[in-house]
Structure 1
C-alpha cells in the first residue's frame, strides 16, 4: 500500500472516520497526521460550490461559475476534443474554487425519454456516452482535480430511485448499461466514481459485490475511489466490504461506529478498511497537491466564449423547409416566446449552476443583421391559457416576414427526483403555434428541452432548430446559427419517436413500487426502432446542415475503416460520420446495427478528405452469459458508414475470426429478442433471458414498514397517524401545484414522498440516528406511544454522544 506508513499510525477510530463525510460537502481530515480533507462539489456542466447553507437539491445559490451546455446538449456535438476543452475549463474552475472532486459527468443511458434526469446524461448509446465522457474526464483531471463519473449503475429513472430494484439480464447490463462506465474507467482513467441509489438484481449497488468487485475492481482493474450518492448508503459495513471508500454526507459519526464495531466483532477484516483508507488517501493527497501547487484565476470571458462554441456545435437543425434558414440580412423578424427573454438553459436539481453571466436572445438580436420588429411573450411559462398573450403575439407576427418562436419544456418539467408524465409540450405553447400559423406561415421554432418530445405540431413550422439546454451563452449560439454565421453541425444523440407508445420500455417504465424490469434487453433507442422497423420522427444521429456532403470509396481492414468525405455544397461546414456494425449470425441475437465509431470533420466548400475510423476492442464483441466473458463471433460482419442510423451511405462486409464460444441461447425460447420486437415480452420469456425467477414487482402491503420502505408506503401503514400523514403530503403537493408553487410541490415528491426511512438519518448530517428512526417506524407500524418514547430516548442519547 502506498500510504501504509501513515495508516499504521492511525487508530481504528481514525481510519473509520475517513470513511464518512465531515459535513455536507467535505470529507474528514485528521490534523494530528496532517491529513487534509476533500471538498466535493456538483458540476456535470458547471461548478456548484455552495459557500453557505449547503443542500443537495439545488435550492440554495452557489458561487458564480460558467454554465456550459448540459451533457444531453454537448452529446449532439459528437466532438471529443470539445468535450476535453470543456472538461479542462471545469477543472480550472474547480481549482480556482478549491474543489478537489467534481461530481460529474453523468453517463447513465437514456433508456426511456421520460426519465427526469435525461438532461444530465449523454445518450441512448453507450459507445457515444463513453467516448464523450472519457474526453471530459481527461480534461477535468488534466488540472489535477478529480472527476467523479456517476451514477453507477442502471439508475435510469427518478421514481423511487433510492429503493427501486433494477432487474436486468447480465448481457444487457454489460453491453448497454456498463460499457460507458467501462470506457470512463479504462479510457478516461477516472479517479472517483459515484454509486447509484438503486438496487441491482436484489442488492443495493453500493453493496453489490458482483458489480463493485467482480466487474469494477477485478474485470476493469479500477483502483480509484467509490463515493456514495448523497444519502445513498444503506448498510455501511456491507458498502465497505464491497469496496466503497467514502459515504456522503456525514452521519455524525454513527456509521463510523458501525465500522469500528464490525471490525472488533470480527464481521469484517481490518485489512479491507486499510485498503479503502489507502485509496482515499491517494485521491486526497493527489488532488490537494494540485490545489496547493496552482493558484488559478479563471478567465470568465474566455470560458463564456467556450460555452458559446459548445452550444454552436451542439445545436441540431431538425427541419429547414424551403431553406428558410439561414435568414438573410435585413429580414424582418418577430420574436415570440417567453424563453427568448428568459432563456431555458439548464436543468433543475443538484446540477443547477449560478452562471457568471447569462445571454438573452432579446438582448442580442437588436445588434444583429436582422430587422427586428418586436417581441411578444406569447404564453405563460408554467402553463395556463392566456388569449390576450396569443392575440398580441399574432398581431406582432403579421408585421414580420418571419417569426422566430421560442418554445420548449420549463425548468420544473425536467428535474432531478421526478420523471416526466409524458413526452408532450405544454398545450398553451401548441395553441400559440396553431394561431400564429394562421397569420404567418414562415415560422422558425427554437426548441429548448433536455430530452425528446413529441412533435405532432411540426407541420406548422418551416424550420425547427433544437437548442436543447445550451448553457449561459446559448442565446448567442442560436442567433449565429439563425443568421448563418455558424453552420449547424449537431446531430441527435437520441432518437425522437413519433409518440411515446413507440418506445420499447414504455410498458416497463417507471418501476412504480418494488422493482423495474428491463424486459426490452439490448433494444434501447435506435437499436429497437431499427431492428423492429418502427418508424421514428428523427433517427439517432440525425441533423441537417446548410451544406451537403458526399461519401465514397469505402475501404475495410481488420483494424480500421476508411472512406472519402466531400463538401459538395457552397458553404463551409462540419459533418459527423458514423460507423455502425451488424453481427454475422442468427445464433446470437443482436440489434440490426450498433454504433462502433464516429468522426467529426470540418470541410471548406469543395474540399475532400480521407477519414479513418479504427475498429477498437468493442467493435465486434458481445457478452456471452454462458462463458461469462466477452466473446467474438466468427463470420461476415456488415460495416456501415452513415450520416445517421437511418441514412447509411456506404456499406460492405468483412470476415472476422472469433473466439468460437458456445451459443448461450435456445433460440426457440427467446423469439421476441431474436426479432427485436420486445415491447411486450411475456413473463416466461423474460425469465428465460434472466436465467432466474423474477422478484415481486409490487410492495408487500401487509408487512411492517422498515428502513428501506418509503414515506409513500405509509398509505398502507397500520397506524392511522402514518396514513393521515401520507394524505397530508398528497394534499400539500396538490395544493402547491394549484397555486403555482411547482418548485415546492416537486420538492415534496423528491425529498419526502420517495424518501426511504433510512434516508432521514443518512441525509440529515447526524441530526437523526437509525435508533431514532426505529422509534418512528414503531409509530408507523401501530405502536404510537412506545415509538415516540423510543424516539425521544434515542434523541437524548444522540445529544449526549455529540457532546
Structure 2
C-alpha cells in the first residue's frame, strides 16, 4: 500500500495534488481518472446514515430512508459500550447498503453548558463516557469496513458564532477535559478520520492549529488516519495544510488555488502537501472496494430494516432515565384507566435538528404503542401544539377533562425541534410555558401524573416536577422510542438509563453561566476542569438530579469492596472489585460507577472523578462481582509546569456507587510514585523554593551564607511571618533588594545547583 501510494504521488502534478486535498461536490473525494484514483463517499451520521441522492446533496432533507437510532444523548445514557458497538455494526451495514464509505461520527464534545444547541449529538459532560462510548461506536462501524470521523476536534461546545469563536483555556483544562475523550477514542479505536472543528482554540483555528493536529494528535497520540475539516471550517487553506489538515470539505475553488500559489511562492513546503495527499490516498484506497456497483439501487434491505428497528427499540428502552417514581406509580397496570396528554405522544420528537437528521425506515409513536398494550380505551388530548398555534386554553381544558375521568395521566412534555438545533444555542433550559401551565392544570385535576420528557439536552424540572409522581427522561429515542416508552411505562422493560449530564436546579448554577455563550469572538473557560458534576459537587450545590442518577423497578445492594495494588510508577495498577446484588423481585440492570478522589497539594482537583463504569444485568436475587483495574492516568492530573501527566503520592479514595452523589462503598489506597518535581527557574517563588527538595537545601545554605556576610539583610529569611508574606515573590525579585545582591548570573548558578540536587 505504501509503495502504491508513493508511486501515485510521484506521478501527480502540483495542481492534481492540490485538487486531491479538497472535496468533489458536497460528499465525494476527488477522483484522478488518468491514474485510476477513485472517489469515495462521505456522509453525515452519527446516529443514522444520511445519504442524500445526487440531485439533493446541498440540503438537509430528502435522504434515503435509514434506521434512526437514538442520538448520542440517549445512547450515552445506556452507559453500555457493548450495546453502542452493536449500534455501530448496524450503522456500518447500512452504510454499505447506501454506498457510504465514511460515516461522519461519532461526536464526543463535552457538554459544558446545557444551552449548547448540539448537545443532543454528544454523549456526556464527562470525557471518560464520551471517549469510551465514542470508541465503541467507531469499533462497531469500522468492523464492517466503513470509516468513521471522530468529531469535532476540539472544544466545540458552543454553536453561537461557531465559525469564529475562540475557546480560551489553559492546557490542563484542555488535556483533562476537552481533549481526553478524543485521546481515548483515538488510542482505543483508531478512527479512519478525525474532523477538525469550526472554532478556534486559544485564538488559532482548529483547522490551522499545528499543536492540535500534529504535535498532540499525531506525534503524542499516534493517530495515523486522515484529518478532514468540518464542512466549511477552513479559513486559510495553505496554513491548514502546514498545520496537518489533510482534506478540505466540501469542494472549494479557493483552496487548491491557494495551495498551488503557496508552494510555488515558497511559503508552503511541498512535503507538507505530499503528506496530506498521502493520507487522502490511503483513505480512498482502503475504502474504495466498498463502493457499490454503478446503477445499483440504494436502499437498506428489508431484513436489516426489521432487525435494526428491533435494535433501535432495544437501545431506546435502555436509554430512557427514570428520574422519579414516588409511591412506585410505575409500572402502570393495564387494568387502570389511562389518559395520555401531550402532542409528543402521537407526533414524537425522536432526533435533533440540523445536519444529522435521518429519514427513518419506520417510526413508532407512544400513543399507538400504549393503546396496543393497554387497549383502545386509552383516552388522549394533545394539550398543546408543537408550533405554539391554536387556542391554548381550549387545549388545556380538553386535557383536564380526559385527566379527570382517568385513574392515571401520562403527560408527554418536551422541547420542539426549533428550540435546539445545530447552528445556534438555547436561550434557557425551561420547558415551554404553555406546557408547564398544562401540567399544573392536569395535576390539579388528577394527582396521579406521570411525565415523559422528549428533549435533546437537560431541561429544568425544579419548577414543575412537584406536580408529577413520576418523571421519565426520554431524551430523543430514535425511531423505536414510542414502543420503548410504552414498554417502560408498563414494566415490560425495566428502565436502566443513567444520567450522563447533571440536571441543575437552575441555569444560574451552571459553571459557564456568566460567560456562555462567548461574546466578541471569545469564550473563556475559567471554570477549568470543574465542568458538570465536578463543578456542582465541588461547590456542594443542590441539583435536581446528579450525574449518574437513574431509578429502576428493582433495587441493588453493594458490598465487599476489595482493593489491591500492583506495579509501580507508570506501571501502577489498582485493582478494585465489588459485589452487586439484585435485592428486588424483577430482573434489572445496574450501572456500577467507580470514582476516584485524589486530593492534591499542588493544584485544585475535583472532589471525585469518574474512572470506570459497568452495565451489569442481574436476575432477582443474583449477585455478581464487578471488577475494575485503574492505571497511572486514572490518578493523574496534567501538571501545568512539567507539561505531563503527574501523580502525587498520598492516600487516594476509591468510591463505588450509583451516582456521583450516591456512593455505596469506599476504600483507599496509598500511592507511592517516583515522580520528578517541577524544576526551578529564575521566576520561581520563595514558596516554590521552600517546597522543592533541592531548592530548600540550596536556599537554606544561601541564607546561612548571607547571615554571615549581612546579618540585617538575612533577617527577612528568618522571620516566618515575613517568609509567608513573601511566598509568592519570585526569588529573582528579592535578589534585587538592597543588601541581597543576587544577580541573574548568581541566581542561574543556584537554580542549576538546586535542580541538580533532586
TM over 0.5, yes or no? yes
| Pair 1:486-2:501 in alignment | no
Structure 2 CA distance for partners of 1:33 and 1:112, relative to 1, 3 Å: same
Counterpart residue number, 2:19:
17
Give the structure 2 partner of residue 790 of structure 1: none
| CA deviation after TM superposition for structure 1 residue 413, in Å | 0.6
Kept in 2: contact 1:365–1:372 (CA 8 A)? no
* Match in the other structure for 2:609: 594
Q: CA deviation at 1:53?
A: 4.6
The CA distance in 2 between the partners of 1:378 and 1:269, in whole Å, is: 64
Query: In the aligned structure 2, how far is the partner of 1:233 from the partner of 1:532?
Result: 40
**CA shift for structure 1 position 366:** 2.1
CA spacing shift, 1:578–1:115, aligned 2, 3 Å = same
Whether the 8 Å contact between 1:143 and 1:290 is mirrored in structure 2 is: no
Partner residue, 1:644: 659
Aligned position for 2:171? 170
Please tell me whether the aligned partners of residues 29 and 35 of structure 1 are also in contact (alpha carbons under 8 angstroms).
yes
574, 589, 600: which one aligns with 1:574: 589
Q: CA deviation at 1:668?
A: 9.9
What is the CA deviation profile of residues 100-142 of structure 1, one whole-angstrom value per residue up to 9, with x for unaligned ones?
A: 1111111000010100000000000000111000000000100
SS of the equivalent of 1:615 reads strand
Measured on the aligned residues, the alpha-carbon RMSD in Å equals: 1.9
Match of 2:437 among 408, 431, 435: 431
Q: How does 1:523-672 map to 2 (within 5 A)?
A: 523-558=530-565, 559=573, 560-662=575-677
Who wins on radius of gyration, i.e. which is larger? 2
Paired position in structure 1 for 2:36: 34
Task: Show the counterpart of 2:283.
Answer: 283
Q: Which residue of 2 aligns with 1:238?
A: 239
SS in 1 for 2:114: coil
Alpha carbons 2:633, 2:645 under 8 Å: kept: no
1:369 corresponds, among 357, 369, 374, to: 374
- Alignment deviations for residues 496-529 of structure 1 (CA, whole Å, 9 cap, x no partner): 0000011111011110222110010000000011
Structure 2 CA distance for partners of 1:667 and 1:13, relative to 1, 3 Å:
farther
C-alpha displacement of 1:616? 3.6
- Matched residue of 1:232: which SS? coil
Contact 2:371 2:378 in 1 (8 A): no
Q: How does 1:408-447 map to 2 (within 5 A)?
A: 408-447=414-453
How far does the alpha carbon of each residue in 1:249-284 deviate from its partner, in whole angstroms, 9 at most, with x for none?
A: 1113x3112111211121122111111111111111
Specify the SS of the correspondent of 1:508: coil
CA distance in 1 between counterparts of 2:559 and 2:686 reads: 38
State the alpha-carbon separation in 2 of the partners of residues 572 and 57 from structure 1: 46
Question: Which residue of the partner structure matches residue 117 of structure 1?
Answer: 118
CA-to-partner distance for each residue in 1:725-758, whole Å, 9 max, x for gaps?
Answer: xxxxxxxxxxxxxxxxxxxxxxxxxxxxxxxxxx
2:359 equivalent to 1:387: no
**Secondary structure at the counterpart of residue 255 of structure 2:** helix
Find the counterpart in structure 2 of residue 299 from structure 1.
304
Rounded Cα–Cα distance in structure 2 between residues aligned with 1:56 and 1:661: 55
Q: Is the CA contact 2:495–2:553 (under 8 Å) kept in the aligned structure 1?
A: yes
Asked if 1:49 corresponds to 2:51, the answer is yes
Q: CA deviation at 1:56?
A: 6.1
Instruction: Compute the displacement of 1:667 (Å).
Output: 13
SS in structure 1 at match of 2:628: strand
Equivalent position of 1:347 in the other structure = 352
Q: 1:450 is matched with which residue?
A: 456
CA contact (8 A) 1:572 1:602 kept: yes
Task: Tell me which residue corresponds to 1:208.
Answer: 209
CA distance in 2, matches of 1:66, 1:523: 37
Aligned partners of 2:609 and 2:59: how far apart in 1?
A: 36
Cα offset for 1:617?
Answer: 4.7
Whether contact under 8 Å (1:317, 1:465) holds in the other structure is yes
With normalisation by structure 2, the TM-score equals: 0.86
> Is structure 2 residue 312 aligned with structure 1 residue 311?
no
Check whether the contact 1:79–1:600 (CA below 8 A) recurs between aligned residues: yes
Match of 1:320 among 299, 320, 325: 325
Output the TM-score relative to the length of structure 1.
0.81
Q: Report the equivalent of 1:400.
A: 406
2:741 aligned partner: none
| Deviation per residue, 1:21-77 (Å, 9 max, x gap) | 11011111111111111211101101111104545662x321101000010111100
Q: What are the within-5 Å matches in structure 2 for residues 120-139 of structure 1?
A: 120-139=121-140
Q: Secondary structure at the match of 1:110?
A: coil
CA shift in 2, pair 1:204/1:269, >3 Å:
same
Aligned mates of 1:663, 1:111 — CA distance in 2: 31
Structure 1 gap ranges (5+):
670-687, 689-803
- SS at structure 2 position matched to 1:155: coil
Give the deviation of 1:291 after TM superposition. Answer: 3.6
Q: Higher mean Cα deviation, 21-30 or 538-547?
A: 21-30
SS at match of 1:619: helix
Tell me, in whole angstroms, the C-alpha distance in 2 between the residues paired with 1:386 and 1:74: 34
Name the CA shift for 1:666/1:522 in 2 (closer, same or farther; >3 Å): farther
Structure 1 position 400, deviation (Å)? 0.8
SS at match of 2:577: strand
Structure 1, residues 278-311: CA drift from partner, whole Å, max 9, x if none? 1111111111123469998461010001001110
Relative to structure 1, is the Cα distance of residues 288 and 340 closer, same or farther in structure 2, using a 3 angstrom cutoff? same
Provide, for residues 149-179 of structure 1, a one-character-per-residue CA deviation record: whole Å limited to 9, x for no partner: 1100011101000011111010000000001
Q: CA deviation at 1:657?
A: 2.3
Shift of residue 82 of structure 1?
0.6
- Tell me whether 1:188 sits opposite 2:203 in the alignment: no
Q: Which whole-Å deviations, capped at 9, do the CAs of 1:447-492 have from their partners, x for residues lacking one?
A: 0101111111000001111110000010000000000000000000
Shift of 1:370: 5.4
Aligned to 2:251: 250
Structure 1 residues 499, 48: closer, same or farther in 2, change over 3 A? Answer: same
Q: Deviations over 1:302-337 (max 9, x none)?
A: 000100111011110001001000012311100110
1:765-780 mapped onto 2 (5 Å cutoff): none
Structure 2: which 5+ residue stretches go unaligned?
566-572, 689-727, 729-758
1:741-756 alignment runs, 5 A limit: none
Distance 1:373 1:171, change over 3 A: same
SS at match of 1:597: strand
Matches of 1:145 and 1:667, distance apart in 2: 57
- Residues 666 and 305 of structure 1: CA distance in aligned 2, closer, same or farther (over 3 Å): farther
What's the CA shift for 1:660?
Answer: 2.4
Deviates more, 1:269-278 or 1:307-316: 269-278
Q: Distance in 2 between matches of 1:617 and 1:303?
A: 40
Corresponding residue pairs, total: 668
